[in-house]
Structure 1
Amino acid sequence: MNKLSEWKHVFKLDPQKTLSDHDLQLILESGTDAVIIGGTDGVTFENVSDLFDRVQPYDVPCLLEVSDIEVIAPEFDGYLIPMVLNSREKKWMLDIHHQAVKEYGDIMDWDQMVVEGYCVLNEEAKVFKHAECYLPDEEDVLAYARMAEHMFHLPVFYLEYSGTYGDPELVKKITNELQHTTVVYGGGIRSSDQAEEMSACADVIVVGNVLYEDLDAALKTVSAAKNSNF
């Protein structure tokens, strides 16, 4: 999973939502660097496995973002493990992870695990409410980013705006601050212009919802991200 730092663009697929085989083929042959399978609710072992089976024939890295240990399926290229840094509840930073390692630690492939320092910045988002977050200000976000890199030595700091377009200046400030931790941005990218703008600010962008709203616009974000000036 050391390739993640070399990526620019990732599509996120929601296993609860529907994509035709033709649309999925277009996504997987778009030139995106990888796909992530994950979602906040309605995610089951069955729909995760079904979607993975459809993705597997293509030569695109496929990662599972683990929101529940019950949905972990084998054979993914990697597993993204969120630590929600701005949650008010310790369980979203440590306790769930502790329970997973307690149950499955003997069989875990640690080289496939990528722990993400997650900072959720949209208080209307399902994940914000589900993970019992508070809305941090700019100084808080910068502090979390520094903690992710210098205290926890995490490979990824994920700025999650979840459905709404974020603040490019804040994203750029965080990316410029971190030297060894990869900054991933997700949220509200619905056009090639937004993809280009945010790719100039973050190391990696994640494009999700627009896949199910305007596939043509979503596909254009790939070249926009890869042609950005960052």
Structure 2
Amino acid sequence: MSLGSSLGHSLRRCVAAAGIGAETLGSLDANPVPADWRHVTKIDPETAKLLPVAYPLYLANTDAVSVGGSTAVTADNTEETFRLLARAPVPAFHEPSEARHVTEETRELAAFLALPEVLNGETEALVGTLGEGLAYLHDEMVPALLREKLPAALYRAVGDRLVDFATSWLLEAAVFEAYVVQNPDSAAARRSGVDESDVLSPATARERAMVADRHLDSEIVYVEYSGTYGGDEAADVLRAVSESVDGARVWYGGGIDDREKTAEMLAVGADTVVVGDCFHDVADEEVEVCARAVEALGVAPSADEIRSWFDDAVDPVETAAARYLRTTPRVDDPEAAAERSLLVALALCFGALPAVVGESRPSVERTRSLLSAVDADAADRLDAALSAGDPEAADGDPLDDYCARVAAALSDADPPRLRHLSLSTLSVSR
């Protein structure tokens, strides 16, 4: 080993030792994943899994949004999801299941890139998938981006070195999620080669978590039951995992659909719970409620008619909206919040429908009027939630822009229909 190499190696070891000492002996928290996140909402870009039209109000009660899924996900529907979430009041990060779902646009709109690594699956799930992703970044995505941004002569001169640097920088900036997949019947288990023999005991999960935390430098250790609530078994695993890690955040996902389950998983060691399916259920419910209201009231009811119909036809306690809102510690009265959010969805729907069916010209003023009339502070709450998102996501007034998006989702005309917003599936007689 040359003197230069030896000095470089020693310097890297000193820097690493200083970082380890700061994290384990001091109070420095170098993890880029915020420690105060308690509730994350997982949104699947799959076109069949929709966002509620009132999503800014719902997401104001979570801490962050994870974008990713295992089935029918493409770069296009991932980009559309991030464009919608640019107006969300909380950060959205990208958890891709395939490297090609990462594009220049998703990188610009995502708070960070979260790369999954499965601790109890096949080697392919831990090393092979990451290798495939790195090869895609290094061989295709980064070179294409540099060719677009740099003069041809400059790219020919330094392109290869810049590709190496940019690929390493993207990897260094990414967050790594070390998964313990505990439901062998889930899509996540099938994708990562986990069967019943791979389900980990608390003691083994503790060992794997220590490897992820101390050797792999994973920022998150994710105990995943994927659609099934882990209960006492998950509690034992979370206790063991949380006691074994220093720098990593401990997340739990699977079957969270009420306040008690959220509280239980947080109490036994999870830093954060992740909620997914019940959020998409809200979008399906919005479509059903709006369809029933249109059938009963036509396309241009008054605010009093909307409110009267809702009071007679919808029990907020039994709604998917209330179930989702019960999962987040921030909401004191989930049923009242669900009522307000569903009324906002109806106001947005009926605000846009007359123009969609050709009975009037598009009117943001009508939508604002309906919002304020069905719930006194609805327009202000929606405007505040939209304004908390990316101020550069759209020109002009955030609420005006959002009403235009809702109208686009309902319409077959230009601008193109937003396929991922709930009301895009609402069938109205034209």
Shift of 1:19: 2.2
Q: Is the 8 A contact 1:8 1:225 kept in 2?
A: no
Give % identity: 27
Work out which of the two has the higher radius of gyration on C-alpha atoms and give 1 or 2.
2
**Where do 1:92-171 residues align within 5 Å?**
92-105=125-138, 106=163, 107-108=166-167, 109-110=170-171, 112-133=173-194, 134-166=198-230, 167-171=234-238
Shift of 1:180: 1.5
**Where do 1:1-230 residues align within 5 Å?**
2-16=32-46, 17-22=49-54, 24-30=55-61, 32-72=62-102, 73-75=106-108, 76-88=110-122, 90-105=123-138, 106=163, 107-108=166-167, 109-110=170-171, 112-133=173-194, 134-166=198-230, 167-201=234-268, 202-213=270-281, 214-223=320-329
Deviation sequence 1:100-154 (CA, Å, 0-9, x none): 2233243443454101111100011111011111222222212111111122221
Shift of 1:224: 6.0
Q: Give the Cα separation in 1 of the matches to 2:215 and 2:33.
A: 23
Match for 1:13: what amino acid? I
Q: Give the Cα separation in 1 of the matches to 2:238 and 2:252.
A: 8
**1:195 aligned counterpart, secondary structure:** helix
**1:164 aligned counterpart, secondary structure:** coil
Q: TM-score, normalised by structure 1?
A: 0.89
Q: Is the 8 A contact 1:45 1:70 kept in 2?
A: yes
Structure having the higher helix fraction is: 2
**2:188 aligned counterpart, secondary structure:** helix
Match for 1:99: what amino acid? E
Structure having the higher strand fraction is: 1
Shift of 1:14: 1.2
Aligned length: 223
**2:72 aligned counterpart, secondary structure:** coil
Shift of 1:156: 1.1
Q: Which runs of 5+ in 1 are unaligned?
A: none
Match for 1:101: what amino acid? L
Q: Give the Cα separation in 2 of the matches to 1:111 and 1:151.
A: 15
**2:94 aligned counterpart, secondary structure:** strand
Shift of 1:211: 1.3
Match for 1:218: what amino acid? Y
Structure 1 residues 112 and 34: alpha-carbon distance in aligned structure 2, compared to 1, 3 A threshold: farther
Q: TM-score, normalised by structure 2?
A: 0.49
Segment drifting more, 189-198 vs 176-185: 176-185
Match for 1:185: what amino acid? Y
Q: CA RMSD in A?
A: 2.0
